Amino acid sequence: MHPRAVLLGPQAGTAFLPVCDHYSGVEARMRKSLQLQAEMTQEFGACVFDVTLDCEDGAPVGGEAEHAALVAELALGSAPDARVAVRVHPVDHPAFESDIAILAGRAGGRLAHVMVPKAESLDDIERAVRAIDQAGAAGLPVQALIESPAAVHRAFEIASHPRLQSLSFGLMDFVSAHAGAIPGDAMGVEGQFQHPLVVRAKLEISSACHAHGKVPSHGVVTEFKNKDALAEAARKAARELGYTRMWSIHPDQIRVLLEAFAPQEREIEAAAAILLAAASADWAPISHAGKLEDRASYRYHWQVLERAHQTGRRLPVEARGWFQAPAV
């Protein structure tokens, strides 16, 4: 039995996504993003970030259908092992139905997921799922972007939908929705980790995701030229707020995020040693380095290895086979 199946059971394979979700909406940048993904997949031996092609912010007003057609063409022309997603317009936008018909209808088989922005309720997710299924892409996962105080209030309900894969936090719209009650510096790389209402919203979304086996995805850091600030923000999101994924809006952010979300080498080595010993004991409790280890800790250590693989870290030789064979 594969460790993923032994330790995670029915949830095997559902709670892990690449730690970086890279967004682009301009044609030249979308093409470069897909090219960079292919190059880094070859470099790391795994697809270490998603590329989400953006219709919401990328499409010119009046040219939404043409932009969606371009995005569908790019998705269909991507590499076979690429992870390509799309962000459509909100469910109440006039272009939403057309986006879904074009993207899910033409390229649904090539898409990793559909991102639904400005999700306010479980009904919004259900509406998106129905549209996707009617377009012929039944089973295509949905992700959602929470951007308002009311949506944060409903985060646990939204996260419960079986087709929902991940929730992301839309910082700038969230701050703007408070009519000036939250200062503008709460949208900055430091302020967003200090203002209580913003931190509370992030924690609600993270907690909702973990309660339902979904992936919490931290939003953007707009100061993309300050790599040190980005790295510190990513570490805070991961280590203090429980996020396991984060958005990138510039190619220079991708490697910084991979590094920030990756386990340390000592953590990887310890996790591999414990899991190899556990496998030899048929997953019964063991004593390792003077400590009791059992299924509860095995799950944690397996997740360390999953994260290492997702971020392109080098695994101990004995553990590499777990990421080359089918999880059965």
Provide the annotated binding site for Mg(2+). Answer: 147, 173
Q: Which residues are known binding-site members?
A: 87, 147, 173
Neighbours of 183 (CB within 10 A): 12
∠182-188-192 over CA atoms, to 5°? Answer: 60
Buried b (16+ CB within 10 A) or exposed e, 268-285: bebbbbbbeebbeeebee
CA 78 and chain centroid, separation: 19
The answer to whether the Cα torsion of 87, 24, 34, 76 is positive or negative is positive
Residue 75 neighbours by CB under 8 Å, 6+ apart? 53, 84, 86, 103, 107, 110, 111
Q: Which residues are known binding-site members for substrate?
A: 87, 147
Helix, strand, coil share (%) of the chain residues, nearest 5: 50, 15, 35
Task: Supply φ then ψ for residue 33, to 5 degrees.
Answer: -65, -45
